Chains A and B, each alone.
Chain A
C-alpha cells in the first residue's frame, strides 16, 4: 500500500527523515519495503554561468551550468534563461516520475548532460512557461528537496492481522504510539441529520451486514476532480475517474473505510441488503457477468442486485457523466463472508481486501460525514435525505491485562504505568484487569496479544538479552547417522545432489512400476508431473545426464520417498563413466562394512541400454543403488559407532556458470611439502573471475621429486560469461596463474 508523507502530516506532526520513519515503522511491524521522494535527490540547485545559441536550432540554447563541483553543458529550450540565474537542474539519472529518467543526450548534434526544469516537470505546479528561477541565496550544489518540501511515497506492507493500518489515518495512529505524540485536532464536520426520511434501508441478514449507513445527495455535478485530489488518489495507485468516485476512494485511503456511490435514479425504491438468489447474475463495474450464489451478500433494490456487497458495485447503478443524484453507502460487512465471495469469484478489490481484514467499526458515521462534506464542496448539490443508519449493537472486544505475565513473556521489567502508556497510545482503554480493544483493532483478544503490542512499541531491539539454560545433548538422532554416511561417500569422491519430490508418468516407466501405490498431487505445477516419487532413482539419473562434461559422475542423494502406505528416507547412489561399476561397488562396500550389513541390500545394478537411452546419458556405464536409510541407521546403532558431524571449512569461491562452452586445463607444480594445497587453490581462484572451479586431483611426495618436495596438480575450469572460452584467453590466464603460484609459493611449474 502507498502512504504519502504529506497526508500523514495532516494527522500528526513529526520530524523524522524518510529513512528514520521507514525504520520506525518497519521495526514495529509495519514493513516499509521502499520509499521514494517525489523530488529526486538528483535534482540539484545550479547556477547558469553562460548562455549561447544552439548552432543547429533557433529555439534551443546551450547553457553552461555550475553544479558546485563541475560545469555541465545543458541544451535548453526555455526562453527565460540567463547567465547568473539559480535554477533546478536534473542530473543524469534523476527520476522525474512515471519512469521519466534523465539520460545523457545529444540534441541536434550538441551533447546535453541533464535538464533544467520547469515547475510542472518537478510536480511543483502547472507552470510550464519557463525554467523555475530560484532564490539567489540558495546554495548551489544542494539538493532541491533541501529547500522545497517534497513529498515521499512509502510502500508499506501491512500484515493480514493489521487491517486497521490500511489507511493514512491507520498509519498515523501507529506513529502516534511510536512517537508518543498526539494526533492533530481534525476539522469539525457539519453534523448530518440522522433519521429515516428520504431513503429506505433494509438489512435482511444482519449477521452479514452489521451496519449500513446511507444518504442521498441531489443536484450534484459530475466532473473532474481538482488537482490535489487527483494527485493523491493517483499517487496511491488508483486511477482518477470523476469527483464522486475519487472522493469515495479518497475516504478509503484516508480512513480505511470502503464506500460506494449509486446513481439514485437507477435505484428503484430503497436499499435492501440480502443474500443473492439462486441463479442470480450481476454485471459488476468491470463489465463482467458474475454468477452469484446464495452464500453471497448483495446490495439490491426492489428488483435487482445493484452491487456485490463489499466487493464491487454493479454496472446497473453506476455513476455516469449525467448523474445528478447519488446514494452514498458506508457499511460494515462480515469479514469471512466477504472473503469467501471474493475468493469464489476470484475478484479481490481494494474494498474486499479491507473488509476481509476488518475495518474500524466505530468510524462509519464519521466516514460518511466526511465524504458528504467533500462531495458538497467539490461536486455541489445538497443533502436530500436523512443520514439513515441501520446497525446492530457493536460488540466490544476485551482482553485480559496482566502486567506480570506480559513482562515475563517479553523478558521485561516495565512498571505498570509504562505498559499503560504504551497501550493508551495505541487506543486501548484500561480497566483494572482488562483492556477494551479499540474499534479499529480486530487482532487482540488475549494477554499475549498485548505482550506483542508492548514488545513492538517498546522496541524488540531494546529488550535485554538472556541466555537459555544449557542442557545435556540428547541421544544421537537418525540425522547424525545419515550425515555420517554422507561423509563416507564424500571421502570416496561422491558429490551430494538434491532433487525434487515429484515424479512423472515417464519416470514411472524407468522404475518399471505401476502408479497403484503412488501418492498423487491434486494441484501439481505441471499436470504431467503429478506423482510423489517412490524412489530417488529417476531423479538422480536426470542429474547424471545433466553432467555431460564430466568423464566420471559420482553422486548421491538422501531424500524422502513416498507411497500411499509410508514415507521413507532413501540413500540413492549413482555412478557413470568407464569405472562406474567398480566405483559404486567400492562405495557400497565401504558403507556396508561400517554399518555391518550385507552389501546386497543396496540393490546395485547397471542400467540397461534402453534406460541409458531414455535418460539421454552419454556414458558407457551407469550404475545405481538404493537403500532404505532406516535399515542403515538401525544397523549402525547396533555397532559401537558414535557419529559426530564434521564441519567443512574449505574456502568457497562461488562463480556463476556461463552458458557458453568452457575449457579445462591441468596444472602441476612442484612445491615444498609444507605448502597447503588449498592455499595454492585459493590463490589460483583469485587470479581471474574466469576461473569457475579449481579442483585438486593429485598430491604426492616422492624421493624422485627431491627431499621435502611434493607434486600438486589441479584441474582448472575456465569460462567466459559472454562468449565461448578460447585457447588464447585461456593461455593468458594460465600464464598469470603460473607466475603467481611460482612467485608466492616458490613453486616450480611442471610443464608436460
Chain B
C-alpha cells in the first residue's frame, strides 16, 4: 500500500468554498499575484494618500508593480468587459510586507467573492455569508455583522463567528462602491453588487487550535500530513 497523500489544509478549505458557490452559479477566477497599482488600489477607490494604505504594507516591485495585497485586485480585472450578472469567487495568494511571527505571515490566502447585477442588496450579502459559514461550520455557528470601513465598499461590513465564547473576525465585505462599478465599465445607476474577502488560514487555525501560522508554508510533513 502507498503512503497516504494529503492536500494542504488551505486547498481543502478553498475547495469546500468552491463547492458552495458553484451551486449558486459562481465562476472561479484566480487572477495574477503580480499586479499594477491600478487594479490593487486605484481602481478600488483607494486614494494614493488614503490612510488605509498605511494599514496594508505593500511589497513593491522595482518595475513599479506590486504583489497584490488582496484578492480584490481581481474585482475590476474580472468585471471589466463583462455583462452582469457577474458572479465570481477568487481564491488566491496575497502578500503583505510584515515581519513573520506566530501570528503574522507575509503570504496568505483570501477568498474574494463578487456579485454584480440589478438590485443587489445588503440583505443578500448577509444571507449568502451566513449560509456559507453554516455550510462550513455547521448550523449551530453564530455569525454576526459589524459595520466596517473599506474604500471599495459602501456600506462596508465586517463579519465574525463565535468560537470558544469569543467573536472572531472572519473578514470584510460590503456593497461595491459605485466608483469600482464604474471602473468595471458598468453604470452604477443601473447595477449594484456585493463583495467579500475572508481570510483562509485564520479560521483554520481557530478551528483546530493551531497557534502558529508559519507551518502552513514550511513544508514540514509532520504538520501537513495531519490534515
Interface residues of A (CB under 8 A from B): 26-29, 31, 159-162, 336, 339-340, 356-357, 408-412, 446, 448-449, 451-452, 455-456, 460-461, 463-474, 477-480, 483, 486, 489-501, 519-525, 532, 539-540, 542-544, 546-547, 549-550, 552-555, 559-560, 562, 564, 567, 569, 645-648, 652-657, 692-693, 695-700, 717
The CA-CA distance from A175 to B27 in the complex, in Å, is: 42
Which of A473, A522, A717 contacts B61, CB < 8 Å? Answer: A522
The CA-CA distance from A370 to B216 in the complex, in Å, is: 55
Say yes or no for B38: interface residue by CB 8 A criterion: no
The CA-CA distance from A456 to B145 in the complex, in Å, is: 10
The residue of chain A having its C-beta at the shortest distance from the C-beta of B211 within the complex is: A656
With A523-B97, A546-B218 as given contacts, are A471 and B85 in contact (CB-CB < 8 Å)? yes
18 contacts between A and B (CB under 8 A): A26-B146, A160-B149, A356-B51, A451-B155, A467-B127, A471-B25, A473-B23, A474-B25, A479-B28, A490-B6, A519-B61, A519-B63, A524-B59, A540-B219, A647-B19, A654-B210, A656-B209, A692-B222
Which of B3, B32, B215, B222 contacts A717, CB < 8 Å? Answer: B222
Contact indicator B5/A465 (Cβ below 8 Å): no
Contact indicator A448/B124 (Cβ below 8 Å): no
Which of A411, A525, A555 contacts B121, CB < 8 Å? Answer: A411
Contact indicator A486/B217 (Cβ below 8 Å): no
Contact indicator A468/B50 (Cβ below 8 Å): no
Which of B34, B147, B209 contacts A532, CB < 8 Å? Answer: B34
Which of B32, B98, B122, B130 contacts A411, CB < 8 Å? Answer: B122
Contact indicator A465/B25 (Cβ below 8 Å): no
Contact indicator A495/B6 (Cβ below 8 Å): yes
Contact indicator B107/A500 (Cβ below 8 Å): yes
Contact indicator A473/B25 (Cβ below 8 Å): yes
Contact indicator B149/A471 (Cβ below 8 Å): no
Which of A412, A446, A560 contacts B93, CB < 8 Å? Answer: A560
Contact indicator B34/A446 (Cβ below 8 Å): no
With A159-B148, A463-B123, A555-B221 as given contacts, are A695 and B3 in contact (CB-CB < 8 Å)? yes
Give chain A residues whose Cβ lies under 8 Å from the Cβ of B59.
521-524
Contact indicator B122/A478 (Cβ below 8 Å): no
Which of A456, A554, A564 contacts B147, CB < 8 Å? Answer: A456
Most interface-central of B23, B62, B115, B123 (chain A CB within 10 A): B123
Residues in B189-212 with C-beta less than 8 Å from chain A: 192, 208-212
Give chain B residues whose Cβ lies under 8 Å from the Cβ of A478.
30
The CA-CA distance from A31 to B159 in the complex, in Å, is: 12
* 12 additional A-B residue pairs with CB within 8 Å, beyond A26-B146, A498-B219, A546-B219: A31-B146, A31-B158, A460-B157, A465-B123, A473-B25, A479-B28, A495-B224, A498-B216, A543-B218, A547-B219, A652-B226, A657-B222
The CA-CA distance from A449 to B150 in the complex, in Å, is: 12
Contact indicator B155/A411 (Cβ below 8 Å): no
With A521-B61, A525-B97 as given contacts, are A160 and B154 in contact (CB-CB < 8 Å)? no
Give chain B residues whose Cβ lies under 8 Å from the Cβ of A159.
148-149
Q: Shortest CB–CB separation between residue A189 and chain B, in angstroms?
A: 33
Give chain B residues whose Cβ lies under 8 Å from the Cβ of A490.
5-7
With A446-B178, A448-B178 as given contacts, are A698 and B1 in contact (CB-CB < 8 Å)? yes
Give chain B residues whose Cβ lies under 8 Å from the Cβ of A498.
8, 10, 216-217, 219
Q: Shortest CB–CB separation between residue A407 and chain B, in angstroms?
A: 9
The CA-CA distance from A356 to B144 in the complex, in Å, is: 31
Which of B32, B52, B124, B128 contacts A160, CB < 8 Å? Answer: B52
